[in-house]
Amino acid sequence: MPPNTDFQSELMMKMYANSSEAIFFFDRHGKTLSLNPAAANIMENDVLEQLIAGADSAICEACRGFTSESENQTCKNCFFESVEPANFTSFQIHLKTKGKGVVPYTATFHTIDSERGIRVFMLRDLTTQFETQKKLHQNTMMRHVIEAQENERKRISRELHDSVAQELLSAVVELRALKYMTGDQKVLDKAEDTKATLTRLLDDIRNLSLELRPASLDDFGLEAAFRSHFKRIEESYGISIELVSSINKKRFDSEIETVFYRICQEAVLNSIKYAFVEEIKVHLYEEDSHLHLITVDEGLGFKEGQSPKGTGLGLFGMRERAELVNGKVEILSELGKGTTVHLSVPL
C-alpha cells in the first residue's frame, strides 16, 4: 500500500505543533526559519523576538554551553558553528529559559536538507530525569552509609561483648577469689568496692553493646530484639511497654528488620523523653503484603504543624530510613492526647 503523503504531512504538522519537545529550524547561516510552540514557550521574550525576526545566531543569547568530554558547560567547538553538525546528534546543553533559569536539555542538531542547508535543533527537558537520578544517587549513598554504619555498630558491639566484657568479668572473678587468699579486712573491703565498680561498668558495657546492635536482631529477628530492648527500657526507666506481635517469629530481609528496629527504638525513646508517659503500646503485624509497626503513647503530644522533638535519628531520619525500603512513616499527634507513629513497608 503506497504511503499517504497528505496524511503523513498532517501527522508531522500535528507532532510539530503539539510536541513537548522544543523544535527549531535554522538555515546554514544560523537564522531561524521556524520554531514550534514548545520552543517559543521556553524562550525569554527578548530572545524569542530575535529568533522570530531571524537574527543571526539568536539562540546563542539563551545558550549557556553544552557538555563536552572535559567540561560541564562550554562554548568551545560550538555545535552551532560546526561544519559537520552530524557530529552533534545527541548531546547535553544548558539554556536560560523563561521563568526556570538555566535548564539542562538533551539535544539533537543535524542537517535535514543539505542543498538548502536547513538544520533542525530539538530539545528535551532533562530536569525531571536529573532529579530522579539525584534522588537515586542520594538513596544509594544513604543505603551504603547506613549499611556501613550498621556493620560498624555490629563489629563494635561484638568486640565489646566478646572481648571487653569478658575481660571485665574475669577481673570480677579474680577479685572474688581474694577472700580465699588474704584475711586483711581493708584489702577485702577495697576489693569489694572495686568489684562493685567493675560490675556496674560491665552492665554499662553490655547495655552499650545492645544499644549499638543487639545480637538477637541478627540471630532471632524483630520479635526477640524488641522484647529484649523493651525489657531493658522497663528496667532502666520503669516504663511499661506492651508488645503485640502477630508475625510469629517470622524473619524478613536484614535491611527491613534494621529499619523497623531503629525506627521503633527512636519512637519509643522519644515517647520516654518528651511525652512523659508510663506506658507505651507497640503493635507489629503483617497485612496486605506490608509489614506494619505502630507505637502509641498517651502523653503530651504536639500541635499539628509543630515540629516534634526527637533524638539523634529524628523525624527526618526516620522517614529517610523508611524510604530506603520503599516504606513510609506517618505521625499523628494531638496536644494532650498522645502520639502515634505508623511505619509501613511493602514486602
CB 84 within 8 A of CB 110: no
Domain boundary among 103, 125, 147: 125
292 pLDDT band (50/70/90 cuts)? very high
Structural domain total, the chain: 3
Which of 42, 46, 6, 7 lies closest to 24, judged by CA?
42
Alpha-carbon distance of 276 to 75, in angstroms, equals 63
**Whether 114 and 200 share a structural domain:** no
| Same structural domain, 121 and 181 | no
pLDDT band at 135 (very low <50, low <70, confident <90, very high): confident
| Residue 86: pLDDT over 80 | no
Q: How many helices (H) and strands (E) does the chain have?
A: 10, 11
Cell of 330: 506517618
Q: Residue 306's pLDDT is what? A: 59
Domain endpoint, select from 98, 125, 152: 125
**CB under 8 Å, gap of 24 or more: what pairs does 159-163 form?**
160/205, 160/206, 160/208, 160/209, 160/212, 161/205, 161/206, 161/209, 161/215
Q: Which residue has the higher pLDDT, 195 or 284?
A: 284
pLDDT of residue 105: 92
Instruction: Count the alpha carbons within 13 Å of 28 in the hemisphere toward its beta carbon.
Output: 7
Q: What is the mean pLDDT of residues 319-339?
A: 88
Cα separations in angstroms, 105 against 18, 76, 92: 18, 18, 6
Q: Are 175 and 191 in contact (CB under 8 A)?
A: yes
DSSP 259-296: HHHHHHHHHHHHIIIII--SEEEEEEEEETTEEEEEEE
H-helix or E-strand spanning residue 94: strand 91-97
Q: How confident is the model at residue 185 (pLDDT cuts 50, 70, 90)?
A: confident
One domain, residues 316 and 260: yes
Question: Mean of the per-residue pLDDT values for the chain?
Answer: 85
Same domain, 347 and 221: yes
**Same-domain status, 141 and 261:** no
Q: What is the mean pLDDT of residues 198-220?
A: 82
- Find out whether 267 and 319 touch, Cβ atoms under 8 Å: no
Show the domain range for 287: 216-347
Q: What is the pLDDT of residue 305?
A: 57
CATH number, domain of 82, equals 3.30.450.20
Q: What pLDDT score does 87 carry?
A: 57
Q: Can you tell me the mean pLDDT for 4-25?
A: 86
User: Is 251 found in the same domain as 239?
Assistant: yes
State the number of CA atoms in the 13 A half-sphere of 278 facing the CB: 0
Residues 227 and 320 in one domain: yes
Please provide the size of the chain in residues. 347
Q: Is the pLDDT of residue 12 over 90?
A: no
Judged against a pLDDT cut of 70, whether residue 127 lies above it is answered with yes
The answer to whether 307 touches 339, Cβ cutoff 8 Å, is: no
Do 148 and 275 belong together in one domain? no
Distance of CA 329 to the CA centre of its chain: 13
Tell me the per-residue pLDDT of 30-64, one tens digit each, with 9 for 90 and over. 888 999 999 999 999 998 988 888 888 788 888 99
The whole-angstrom separation of Cα 289 and Cα 186 is: 66
Q: How confident is the model at residue 156 (pLDDT cuts 50, 70, 90)?
A: confident
Mean pLDDT of 293-312: 72
The whole-number average pLDDT for the span 184-203 is: 83
Spatial neighbors of 321 by CB under 8 A, at least 6 apart, are 146, 259, 262, 263, 313
Residue 123 pLDDT exceeds 60: yes
Residue 55 CB contacts under 8 Å (≥ 6 apart), including other chains: 31, 32
Q: Tell me the per-residue pLDDT of 232-283, one tens digit each, with 9 for 90 and over.
A: 889 888 899 999 999 988 999 989 999 999 999 999 988 888 888 889 999 9
| Same domain assignment for residues 238 and 147 | no
Same domain? For 109 and 194 the reply is no
Last residue of a domain, one of 125, 149, 178: 125
> Domain check: are 110 and 173 in the same one?
no
- The per-residue pLDDT for 194 is 86
Q: Same structural domain for residues 117 and 146?
A: no
State the pLDDT at residue 311: 47
Q: Domain of 316: which CATH number?
A: 3.30.565.10
